[in-house]
Amino acid sequence: MRVMPSKESLRADKYPFVSSIYAGIRKTEGHESMAYKLYHFLFTKKGADMIDESGYIAIRK
């Protein structure tokens, strides 16, 4: 079966060439640090839109 790369096939893990990229911060990271702010921004709608605009596929709940 032939599967074309699309956001739908990538999100459903049906396209065979997928790699996950993770973001993480230390548990002790201060809430005012740029790392903490960036991490939390990535999971907002604006952050997900930025990820999509960059050519990646953001996790959307």
Mean pLDDT of the chain: 87
Domain ranges of the chain: 30-61
Model confidence at 59: pLDDT above 60: yes
CB-based contact 23:42 (threshold 8 Å): yes
Model confidence at 40: pLDDT above 90: yes
Q: What is the DSSP string of 1-61?
A: ------HHHHHTT-SS----------TT--TTSHHHHHHHHTTSHHHHHHHHHTTS-----
Model confidence at 60: pLDDT above 70: no
pLDDT top residue among 41 and 3: 41
The pLDDT value given to residue 29: 95
pLDDT top residue among 60 and 11: 11
